[in-house]
A = this chain, B = another copy of it.
Amino acid sequence: GLRVAAAASASSSGAAAEDSSAMEELATEKEAEESHRQDSVSLLTFILLLTLTILTIWLFKHRRVRFLHETGLAMIYGLIVGVILRYGTPATSGRDKSLSCTQEDRAFSTLLVNVSGKFFEYTLKGEISPGKINSVEQNDMLRKVTFDPEVFFNILLPPIIFHAGYSLKKRHFFRNLGSILAYAFLGTAVSCFIIGNLMYGVVKLMKIMGQLSDKFYYTDCLFFGAIISATDPVTVLAIFNELHADVDLYALLFGESVLNDAVAIVLSSSIVAYQPAGLNTHAFDAAAFFKSVGIFLGIFSGSFTMGAVTGVVTALVTKFTKLHCFPLLETALFFLMSWSTFLLAEACGFTGVVAVLFCGITQAHYTYNNLSVESRSRTKQLFEVLHFLAENFIFSYMGLALFTFQKHVFSPIFIIGAFVAIFLGRAAHIYPLSFFLNLGRRHKIGWNFQHMMMFSGLRGAMAFALAIRDTASYARQMMFTTTLLIVFFTVWIIGGGTTPMLSWLNIRVGVEEPSEEDQNEHHWQYFRVGVDPDQDPPPNNDSFQVLQGDGPDSARGNRTKQESAWIFRLWYSFDHNYLKPILTHSGPPLTTTLPAWCGLLARCLTSPQVYDNQEPLREEDSDFILTEGDLTLTYGDSTVTANGSSSSHTASTSLEGSRRTKSGSEEVLERDLGMGDQKVSSRGTRLVFPLEDNA
């Protein structure tokens, strides 16, 4: 049953029906125009905010300001604009706009309203707390700038994560894969559980103190733990990519943050999913927990597979069509296929973030080799620009949201409790996990790295996006406000404090910006990209010469050898002998690697470029998975270096030298390995590895 009370001020005039209808049409037209103008203004606000941020970033770089990171800056500008919008814009008159119906059932997502025989459709915008009914209609502008969280997920996140995957230093990522998985999966779950329980204590305390006016269940606390446990790839990328900190530390932090997003998303949705089982208690039950773990593993592997599959499909398409004659088409296809990974994964109920990350890695490893020279630089630059814009947009928006979002619930006890819980939750997984990992790791995670990881628990855009997704209930609104404040705090304090902290903990960084006079743009580009796998070695692979591996090289080889599992070795030989030749124009011809009975298939799949050596070698990514380096040395203890390497090698040294502060001979050795790595993957040789030697 329904009861409707009219609260509208409009009353139909006594004019003729035709006139009033025309007037109505006109009013609709005017309203549409006004709405269009407001849309323009709200978009314009963001664009001007970004422009201002860019100019200040330049000024900061120019004047070498260090105390505030650019993402923090974007947030400050967002805050200022938010204040202006909130208190500076005149309240638009709410007349003719509100109508209140009282309805005893639940809220429907769609409403059909019959106005003198015509039907109008309305859609649900959200709940409004009773005290704010009057303020809701007052400011259209605030409503316009508070846009759909879907935009974060579907539009802004994919380019950021894809760019991270596309420009990932695969060597360092895969070298630390075990530790990354441990921190990301176990660590986040531990942290979620600890934070959830601590917050439940806080909530109980608040109830005793009479500070809580609405329901707040145990599952709500766990949900909060899930959304706030995950460190944020966007923030970590923004801050550490800039600093060129130690690559292993960066790999650990970035790897953790990018994979624990998946954990956070999955945890939060599984917590919501098993609420029906504990409807009355909202308590935690073990069966549901294991169900969640199962769901999580399914979703994670599904996302991984989906990302890899889209990458492989793109590689096949770019290999077997002659699309590289049309760089524009090629770039557009590459962009669309990569973006579709994210959406496809989301549509199937998997995690888009994980899918698009692995898609990026696959694209860099295979598809990149098939692209035309122009498309390579185009795709990289396109994603770099999109990444930059999306990142700054998100941070500006977070700043803006503190004042423009209209449903904040500030609860000091909850906020303080959350800060403490986060600190404890992070401490409770970083130190124990590092201890256990160090038992198995050859290259130990030092105390300084552990402290840095403890310190760098940056929360950011992902937590924000998860929190803003549902702000219907009181508990969720309180969580959103708290999340926003935690993000502010971590970005400002931790973001600004990273440089001093790194130097205090004696962790090497390579922040050497070129002087203003040195305007060699390519050189600068080299700095900017930072984690770009493809630019590292200058291409000098015209002719080859086998050199005998010297002492330290072999020692290094033996050391790294033990770190890598036999599965990676197996994977590498499979990749080199079969996947590379099938998916790209490089690698040995399949006719030599496949058994004789699939000769026809092999001839079909092998690209003609593999046979004729006129075409320059397209294999350029030296930061290949760890085992590549080992194999070079395992394979008869010999490194293969370029013939004319002396001159180009010097060039690369001078470039790299300015990029990181060299830490003695090990750095040089590693670079030598890097050079060696690349050479060994020459075309036409089939690698056979002495697996029994290592396994």
Residues of A participating in the B interface, judged by any CB pair closer than 8 Å: 1-8, 10-12, 18-19, 21-29, 31-33, 36-37, 39-41, 43-44, 47-48, 50-51, 54-55, 57-58, 61-62, 96-130, 133, 136-137, 150, 153-154, 215, 217, 269, 272, 275-276, 279-280, 282, 317, 321-329, 331-333, 335-337, 339-340, 343-344, 346-347, 349, 352, 372-374, 378, 381-382, 384-385, 388-389, 469-470, 472-473, 514, 516, 519, 521-522, 524-525, 528
Contacts and interface: CB of A to CB of B under 8 A. Distances in A.
Given A121-B136, A125-B122, A137-B110, A12 B519 contact: no
A472 B25 CA distance: 8
B124 A112 contact: no
Given A36-B346, A99-B103, A321 B44 contact: no
A114 B126 contact: no
Closest 8 CB pairs of A and B: A122-B122, A40-B346, A102-B114, A4-B4, A44-B343, A121-B125, A40-B347, A100-B112
A6 B1 contact: yes
A130 B117 contact: yes
A120 B113 contact: no
30 contacts: A2-B101, A3-B4, A10-B106, A21-B215, A36-B346, A36-B469, A39-B154, A40-B347, A40-B352, A43-B154, A47-B336, A47-B343, A54-B332, A58-B322, A61-B326, A97-B108, A98-B112, A99-B110, A100-B111, A100-B112, A112-B133, A118-B127, A120-B127, A121-B125, A322-B516, A324-B521, A325-B524, A327-B521, A327-B524, A374-B525
A585 to B, nearest CB: 13
A133 B112 CA distance: 9
A6 B2 contact: yes
A298 to B, nearest CB: 16
Contacts of A525: 327, 374
B120 A22 contact: no
A470 B32 contact: yes
Contacts of A372: 519, 521
A127 to B, nearest CB: 5
Q: A106, A126, A384, A516: which has the most chain B beta carbons within 10 Å?
A: A106
Contacts of A343: 40-41, 43-44, 47
Given A154-B43, A325-B516, A332-B54, A125 B128 contact: no
Q: A5, A28, A136: which has the most chain B beta carbons within 10 Å?
A: A28
Nearest to A275: B26
Contacts of A96: 106, 108-109
A44 B340 contact: yes
A5 B1 CA distance: 8
Contact of A107 (B118, B335, B521): B118
A269 B328 CA distance: 37
B109 A31 contact: yes
B119 A128 contact: yes
A54 B108 contact: no
A233 B7 CA distance: 47
A55 B317 contact: yes
A469 B32 contact: yes
Contact of A335 (B29, B111, B374, B389): B389
B328 A385 contact: yes
B40 A329 contact: no
A471 B299 CA distance: 42
B2 A105 contact: no
Contacts of A470: 28-29, 32
A473 to B, nearest CB: 6
A523 to B, nearest CB: 10
Contacts of A121: 124-128, 136
A101 B105 contact: no
